[in-house]
Amino acid sequence: MEKQFYAVYLNPSRPDFAMTMTDNERTIMLQHIAYWTEKMKQGKVYAFGPVIDPKEIYGLGIVAVDNEQELKDIIANDPAGKINRYEYFPMKAVVPNISID
């Protein structure tokens, strides 16, 4: 089965979120990084991280999954979903032909 790619956006709960995180929010975001790093090790995430847009910092991930439901499950289990919101869009990604074991 061919993987489906998505551009995944993690939109902050407020425009200055990255600069004004509370200690609790910072803890959740560290859990978020660990969660997405594990998905990367599984070959489901090609890249993720903050985008330093002058208007607002937001998260971006490039994800390869078997189907949309798998992506929904990943999003539903991400700790950051408790304090921010997700959007995602199908992507016609061009990626290197890399074998992931």
With beta carbons less than 8 A apart as the criterion, state whether 43 and 99 touch.
no
Domain containing 70 — which CATH number?
3.30.70.1060
> What whole-number distance in Å separates Cα of residue 20 and Cα of residue 29?
13
Which token pair is 36? Answer: 């997405």
67 and 96 Cβ atoms separated by less than 8 Å = no
Q: Determine, yes or no, domain membership for 65.
A: yes
Residues of the domain holding 23: 4-91
Element (H, E) at 81: none
Band of the pLDDT at 101, cuts 50, 70, 90? Answer: very low
98 located within any domain: no
Tell me whether residue 80 is in a domain: yes
Q: What is the pLDDT of residues 62-90, one digit of tens each?
A: 999 999 999 999 999 999 999 999 999 99
Q: What is the pLDDT of residues 20-39, one digit of tens each?
A: 999 999 999 999 999 999 99
- On whether the pTM is more than 0.95, the answer is no
* 97 lies in some domain: no
For residues 17 and 57, is the Cβ–Cβ distance under 8 A?
Answer: yes
